[in-house]
Amino acid sequence: MQEVCRLLNVDKQHTSYYHPETNSVVERFHGTLNTMMGRMISEQQRDLDLCLPYVIAAYRATVHQSTGYSPNYLMLAREVRSPVDLVFGTPSDRPPASYDDYSTAMEERMKQAYSLVRQHLGTAAQRMKRQYDVRVKQRQYRKGQWVLYGSFTAPAYITRVNSKGGSRSGNESSHPT
């Protein structure tokens, strides 16, 4: 797995087991999974274990808006065939001439997909920032005003306000009494 991460320039990050809120991607997936499972299971909830593989397969086959690809494609460099593909058929690829040709082609597809995913994620991040900035109100501070600053353990006193609206503060001991 380290070699795959090295080839794709992926930096793995680890989060704490006891603080799941530090990994927002997993929390978002859990919310999506709960919503999908809620729509699939019966009222008695006795078939949860029978529905789970199909719900996960549907999730993995769905193209995500933020990446532009399905998780199946990003992990396997191809889409997984489903039973509906047997009925309607899928475009067939020519079999590779050798294992080396296959691995080279797969590496190229994965590199191309990951570079496009990074672009899509950058675009998604900019879109989310714009949506966030619409709701944010810029704070205006005045000289002499008390504010919570830094770790929010002690109030700070505004000693100077610059022309751009930024301010400089000191700790409680710098208050002019």
Q: What is the pLDDT of residues 111-148, one digit of tens each?
A: 888 888 888 888 888 988 898 888 888 777 778 888 77
pLDDT of residue 172: 47
pLDDT of residue 151: 62
Both 58 and 119 in one domain: the answer is yes
CA–CA dist 175, 162 (Å, integer): 19
Both 163 and 79 in one domain: the answer is no
The parts of the chain modelled with pLDDT lower than 70 are 20, 43-44, 91-93, 149-153, 163-177
pLDDT of residue 13: 76
**What type of residue is 31?**
G
pLDDT of residue 173: 45
Both 108 and 94 in one domain: the answer is yes
pLDDT of residue 163: 66
pLDDT of residue 167: 54
Both 125 and 166 in one domain: the answer is no
Nearest 5°: phi and psi at 167?
-140, 165
Both 66 and 21 in one domain: the answer is yes
- Looking at the structure of the chain, the number of domains it has is 2
The two structure tokens encoding residue 30: 């859990």
Both 170 and 88 in one domain: the answer is no
Cross-strand bridge partners of residue 168: 160
Q: What predicted TM-score, i.e. pTM, was given to this entire model?
A: 0.57
Q: What is the DSSP letter of 90?
A: -
Both 12 and 96 in one domain: the answer is yes
pLDDT of residue 165: 54
Both 172 and 85 in one domain: the answer is no
Question: Domain boundary residue among 135, 150, 165?
Answer: 135
CA–CA dist 8, 80 (Å, integer): 21
Both 26 and 7 in one domain: the answer is yes
Residues 6 or more apart whose CB falls under 8 angstroms from that of 112 comprise none
Both 117 and 73 in one domain: the answer is yes
Range(s) of the domain holding residue 165: 141-177
Both 127 and 151 in one domain: the answer is no
